[in-house]
A and B are shown apart, each in its own frame.
Chain A
Amino acid sequence: MSKSNTQTGISAPTFWEQYRRKPLGMVGLSIVAVYVFVAIFAPFLTPYNPKQILLADRIAAPIWFRSVLPKYDDAPSTVRITLGPDEWAVSEATGGKLVAEELEGTAVSVIEFEPVLKDEDVSEGEAGLLEIEEYPEEPEKSVVELSHVVSYNCSPPKTFGLTFNYWVDASSDSKTELEFVIETPEGKQYNLWGKSCSGTLGSQPARIDSRDLTLKQRLGLTIFDDPAPRVFSSKGDYRLLLTARSIPGEEPTRVYISNAEFYIPGNVHGLLGADHMGADLWTQLIYGTRISLSIGLSAAGISVAVGTAVGIICGYLGGVVDEFMMRVVDVLMAIPTLPILIILGAILGKSVWNIVLLISAFAWMGTARLVRSQTLSLRERVFVESAKASGASDAYVMLIHILPNVLPLVFAGMVLRIPAAILTEASLSFLGLGDPRVATWGRMLHNARGFGAFTTLAWWWLVPPGLAITFLSLAFVFIGNTVNEILNPRYRERS
């Protein structure tokens, strides 16, 4: 019944029939489809997650710069190797061996040294006393050398590092030494770290960082020298050597070494490079799609829904309600939007939900005015009069007769409101008022500005988020204008 009453009624198939003939509309739809695809399948489009840091050096360039810009010809990409018992090769072993052990689910390399008194040297005497047949003349140093070969084929890196935990289980009369050395392809050895202890030692972290002052001193460099370019000065196979020496005691000496992380941060990384924390920019970009789309759609949806409700109620009921609400609309429209969003955003706290609500709270007034004026003219129509005459309630008339007739107008308005919401969110995030827990395009630009994109001339950090916003906004503008053309031909000039 209501169908025949609608003036601008257009069925979905007819609408689509018309829509698909508009090239711009179809372009917009395809762009949005791509964004939606990226948003849904973000985890499958990147090997990282947006919170992973230290994937590369700070502000690393995109990896494809290597093949485009001579400056990046053989810029180092990230080398990250986890060295467990399977990765270590034993290159030398006297009086000890490498054993793999499982501790709390992770494999641990254990270097086990035989005790100074071997079992076979001790036999049980007749009186039940232990008899020692032969003492070694002098405690001999046992050595186990673990090695791993890393092939490095890039220009010298800026830094490198190695981290692992170690602990020693031994009798108190033993002595243990640990040492980490990198051997260059030319055979030059850099002794980077060493530690000695007697007896048992609790778990200790070993942090070898090429920027470390003590490391520079150890290598005889000044604080202004960089060890990394010296050590990795040439291309070829480097040997990482972890050596354990022990003067064992009466019990076996066991040196535990947790999985070691060897890391050379790359100057080039991924599709779009890395940010100041070494997080992947491509990952942030595609995860940002999710936030922008959801904020844009929900803020536009909420504000248009509120605006439509207010507009219909005011237009239909009129009187005091109308007068009051329209004054509220006037006042809200006169308040400068961005400054008030900044203040409220800072006070209410930085969360995605707050941002959606705030954007909606200051974006419904336009729709309310438009819908109200439309309702005013619909109210006088014959079909509304006859519905009222046949005893329909106000709520019924508004829902069944007015609402369907304002929907076409509202729908196009909503599509056009999405890019506005996306831009507002981006501005707020850019100003540092976005949700710090999620990656958004505005936040990427905020970081780029605050953490050195300018001084490092990292345009690849600055350009992609803005392009992403622009294309998405354009797509919605195309769609909105096309929808308007079809549903509201009279309003074509306005948009």
Chain B
Amino acid sequence: MGFSRYLLRRLGYAVIVLFVIMTFNFAIFRLMPGDATKMIIDPMFTPEAIAELKRQFGLDDPPLVQYFKYVGNLFKFDLGLSFSTRRPVVNELKERLPNTAVLFLASFTLTTIIGISVGVYTASKRGTFGDNFVTGAGLFAFAVPSFWIQLLLLMLFGYYIPILPIHGTMSAPPPDGFLLQFLDRIHHLILPAGSNVIVAFGSWALYTRNTMLEALGQDYIVTARAKGLPENTVLRHHALRSVLPPIVTLIFGALPGMVSGAVITETIFSWHGVGKYLMDAVMQQDYPAAQGAFYLIALAVVICNLAADIVYGIVDPRIRVGEGGAK
């Protein structure tokens, strides 16, 4: 009962966020200085041609009608035509979404696995080199511009020691055979995904370590140790189990940031994904395309947030009763 109400509230809240983003998307297109149509309409066109173009892009209705049409179209996943390619934006996004998903999943999985294992490991070795390393890596992750690290890695492994491809998701004429193609894609994935991991794993490790240390100070750990259980068992079955909920929450909480960060990673490595599409569209003032890409990214973030809320509700029963903490 309590949980389903909680879920419903979160769901309603996600819908509100989506509506705000939709409205924002609609508004920026209309409110920006200058005339968006200048991008597509040449003053040399005949009035009929201009009217036809405006009709194609849905710019001839009163604003309120435009808004409702726009929202209605969004529900049908109709994001309009791109100014620059004149193709439906949704088709272009469909081509790019798998690339973004692959990069995202690879970076995310590796970051969490490496970050959490390093964190758990160093928590058991307080005061050693590894421990200091994690503290350093956490600070580093906070202070260093991630795109700079990516640029340095790109220069090192793409140009100085050219062993990794410098752009794209696969070689231009793809190699023959499924296995070779697969390996080719992995080869292209190493630099973008690897750099994401290097940049991000420090903060995960630090957080895991701190949560672990907190847990290790608890009474039941002392009891477990006093019982004479092997240290490994204490770590794995007692400490890790109790720190899993906050870490799982953190995992889902970090998803939106990673989705956002895709814009920079994809731009640097010319990764043919949604983030780069957004960047290109903004640079070419292709507003329907930019809106579409932004809407997709925002949708992903909203879904991640919703997933985080659900997982949070599952792992932490207290949440079903009242509102959660500050974060």
- Does A423 sit at the interface, judged by CB under 8 A? yes
Choose from B159, B275, B279, B290 the contact partner of A457 (Cβ within 8 Å): B159
A339 and B210 in contact, given A373-B326, A419-B142 (Cβ under 8 angstroms): no
Q: Which of B130-176 contact A (CB under 8 A)?
A: 139-140, 142-145, 147-149, 151-152, 154-155, 158-160, 166
On A, residues with C-beta under 8 Å from B are 327, 330-331, 334-340, 342-344, 346-347, 349, 369-370, 373, 419, 423, 426-427, 430-433, 445, 448-449, 453-455, 457, 459, 462-463, 465-466, 469-470, 473-474, 477, 493
Choose from A335, A339, A346 the contact partner of B263 (Cβ within 8 Å): A339
A432 and B283 in contact, given A419-B142, A469-B148 (Cβ under 8 angstroms): yes
- Does B264 sit at the interface, judged by CB under 8 A? yes
User: Which chain A residues lie closer than 8 Å to B290 at the CB level?
Assistant: 343, 346
Choose from A369, A430, A433 the contact partner of B147 (Cβ within 8 Å): A430
Contact between chains at A431 and B279 (CB < 8 Å): yes
Q: Considering the chains assembled together, what is the distance between the CA atoms of A334 and B14 in angstroms? A: 9
Taking A336-B297, A347-B33, A465-B148 as given, write out 7 further A-B residue pairs in contact, using a Cβ cutoff of 8 Å, ordered by the A residue number: A339-B275, A373-B326, A426-B145, A427-B147, A432-B283, A433-B282, A466-B151
Nearest neighbor of B300 in chain A, beta-carbon distance: A336
Overall SS of chain B's interface:
helix
User: Which chain A residues lie closer than 8 Å to B166 at the CB level?
Assistant: 454
- Does B17 sit at the interface, judged by CB under 8 A? yes
Q: Considering the chains assembled together, what is the distance between the CA atoms of A337 and B20 in angstroms? A: 14
A473 and B256 in contact, given A449-B268, A454-B158 (Cβ under 8 angstroms): no
Q: Considering the chains assembled together, what is the distance between the CA atoms of A50 and B268 in angstroms? A: 26
- Does B204 sit at the interface, judged by CB under 8 A? no
Choose from B20, B143, B260, B297 the contact partner of A473 (Cβ within 8 Å): B143
Contact between chains at B152 and A462 (CB < 8 Å): yes
Q: Considering the chains assembled together, what is the distance between the CA atoms of A221 and B16 in angstroms? A: 72
A336, A349, A426: most-surrounded residue (chain B CB, <10 A): A336
Q: Which of B1-40 contact A (CB under 8 A)?
A: 13-14, 16-17, 20-21, 24, 28, 32-33
A338 and B301 in contact, given A343-B294, A470-B143 (Cβ under 8 angstroms): no
Nearest neighbor of B267 in chain A, beta-carbon distance: A431
B21, B151, B302: most-surrounded residue (chain A CB, <10 A): B151
User: Which chain B residues lie closer than 8 Å to A465 at the CB level?
Assistant: 148
Mark contacts of B190-226 with chain A using CB atoms, 8 A cut-off: 1 yes-contact digit, 0 otherwise. 0000000000000000000010001000000000000
The 8 A-B residue pairs with the shortest CB-CB distance in the complex, in nearest-first order: A466-B148, A473-B143, A336-B260, A474-B143, A338-B260, A347-B32, A346-B282, A334-B17
A457 and B160 in contact, given A336-B260, A432-B283, A445-B151 (Cβ under 8 angstroms): yes
Category for how many chain B residues contact A: 35 or more
Choose from A331, A343, A431, A455 the contact partner of B159 (Cβ within 8 Å): A455
- Does B245 sit at the interface, judged by CB under 8 A? no
User: Which chain A residues lie closer than 8 Å to B159 at the CB level?
Assistant: 454-455, 457
Mark contacts of B257-291 with chain A using CB atoms, 8 A cut-off: 1 yes-contact digit, 0 otherwise. 00111011001100000010011001101000010
Q: How far is the CB of A480 from chain B (nearest CB, A)?
A: 10
User: Which chain B residues lie closer than 8 Å to A423 at the CB level?
Assistant: 145
A445 and B20 in contact, given A339-B298, A343-B294 (Cβ under 8 angstroms): no
A336 and B301 in contact, given A449-B268, A474-B139 (Cβ under 8 angstroms): yes
- Does B305 sit at the interface, judged by CB under 8 A? yes
User: Which chain B residues lie closer than 8 Å to A454 at the CB level?
Assistant: 154-155, 158-159, 166
Choose from B28, B264, B278 the contact partner of A427 (Cβ within 8 Å): B264
User: Which chain A residues lie closer than 8 Å to B275 at the CB level?
Assistant: 339
Contact between chains at A470 and B28 (CB < 8 Å): no
Q: Considering the chains assembled together, what is the distance between the CA atoms of A418 and B155 in angstroms? A: 29
Q: How far is the CB of A323 from chain B (nearest CB, A)?
A: 12
Q: How far is the CB of A205 from chain B (nearest CB, A)?
A: 36
Nearest neighbor of A422 in chain B, beta-carbon distance: B145
A331, A432, A455: most-surrounded residue (chain B CB, <10 A): A331
Q: How far is the CB of A292 from chain B (nearest CB, A)?
A: 11
Nearest neighbor of B285 in chain A, beta-carbon distance: A346
A-B contact pairs, 15 of them (CB 8 A): A331-B20, A334-B17, A336-B260, A339-B260, A339-B263, A340-B294, A342-B279, A343-B28, A423-B145, A426-B147, A426-B148, A454-B154, A454-B158, A455-B159, A473-B144
